[in-house]
């Protein structure tokens, strides 16, 4: 094993993940963001995008098989929506954070400073890369076991709370169930130049402004407003 492996505390990360890798380079590669190689030309490992590609395919198959067997009565469309909620960027990045993966990411100093949405994507992609690394290193069953441990417990909450629906659809259904009113959306303001515009949208129940949301597109702002409205009404 060469010295570059020491850039990553492999034993500690293996303990957190619960797996010991036969080839440590698989794990090192999974943790390496493309930006890291721009600042470390001496690094012998590749970045993690190929492993992410592989892990994404394994993840989809494992989750699809699980949902197909768990919910034999659900139609294809609903199963697809539940799967999307289980493996979206927010869900995967949360699982990666809970594992402590964030402390082991290898990336450039510039990328390391960004802790917002960009970090979410990096964490989600790294989670998929870890799956790809486990698949390469130890096979399908080990990768499937990891996915089951990290994600399957979320499924019942997603189904029970209908979190597989987008926020607008969910809020409309909840509003009709609770107050028999269909929500409406109104653009309250828009700021910034055309190429960098931010919209503020309000969601109303009748004349009541329930919540507001912001986004770079009206649709994004509406979804955020609906999400905030669900929380504001306590309809979680």
Q: Find how far residue 94's CA is from the centre of its chain.
A: 7
Contact 215, 175 (CB under 8 A): no
166 is known as an active-site residue: no
At 193-224, the pLDDT tens digits run: 888 899 999 999 999 999 999 998 999 999 99
Q: Find how far residue 191's CA is from the centre of its chain.
A: 29
Q: What is the pLDDT of residue 167?
A: 86
Flag whether the pTM goes above 0.85.
no
Check 52, 111, 128, 222 and give the catalytic one.
Answer: 128
Question: Which is nearest to 206 in space by CA: 236, 232, 180?
Answer: 180
Q: Scanning the structure block, which residue is given the tokens 């402004």? A: 209
186 is known as an active-site residue: no
DSSP string, 124-193: HHHHHHHHHHHHHHH-HHHHHHHHHHHHGGGHHHHHHTTTTS-HHHHHHHHHHHHHS---EEEEEEEES-
**Contact partners, residue 213, CB within 8 Å, separation at least 6:** 200, 201, 203, 220, 221, 222, 223, 224, 225, 226, 227, 228
Contact 202, 190 (CB under 8 A): no
- Alpha-carbon distance of 232 to 208, in angstroms, equals 12
Contact 31, 48 (CB under 8 A): yes
DSSP SS3 for 36: helix
Question: Tens place of pLDDT for every residue, the chain, 236 residues?
Answer: 344 445 789 999 999 999 999 999 999 999 999 999 988 888 889 999 999 999 999 999 999 999 999 999 999 999 998 999 899 988 999 999 999 999 999 998 888 777 777 889 999 999 999 999 999 999 999 999 999 999 999 999 889 877 777 889 889 989 999 999 999 999 999 999 888 899 999 999 999 999 999 998 999 999 999 989 999 999 86
> What is the set of domains in the chain, with CATH numbers?
3-160 (1.10.1520.10), 167-233 (3.30.160.20)
Check 56, 111, 137, 222 and give the catalytic one.
Answer: 56
């Amino acid at each position: 094993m060469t010295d570059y492996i020491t850039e990553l505390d492999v034993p500690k990360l293996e303990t957190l993940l619960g797996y010991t890798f036969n080839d440590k380079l698989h794990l090192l590669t999974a943790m390496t963001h493309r930006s890291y190689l721009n600042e470390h030309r001496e690094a012998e490992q590749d970045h993690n995008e190929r492993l992410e590609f592989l892990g994404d395919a394994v993840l989809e198959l494992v989750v699809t098989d699980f949902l197909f067997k768990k919910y034999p009565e659900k139609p294809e469309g609903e199963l697809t929506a539940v799967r999307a909620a289980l493996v979206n960027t927010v869900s995967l990045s949360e699982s990666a954070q809970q594992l402590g993966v964030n402390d082991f990411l290898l990336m450039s100093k510039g990328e390391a400073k960004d802790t917002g949405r960009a970090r979410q994507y990096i964490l989600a992609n790294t989670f998929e890369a870890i799956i790809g690394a486990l698949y390469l290193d130890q096979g399908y069953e080990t990768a499937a076991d990891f996915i089951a441990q990290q994600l399957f417990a979320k499924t019942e909450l997603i189904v029970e709370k209908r979190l597989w629906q987008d926020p607008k659809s969910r809020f409309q259904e909840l509003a009709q169930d609770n107050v028999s009113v269909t929500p409406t959306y109104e653009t309250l303001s828009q700021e910034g130049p055309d190429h960098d515009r931010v919209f503020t949208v309000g969601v109303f129940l009748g004349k009541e402004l329930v919540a507001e949301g912001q986004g770079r597109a009206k649709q994004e702002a509406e979804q955020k407003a609906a999400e905030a409205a669900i929380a504001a009404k306590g309809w979680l």
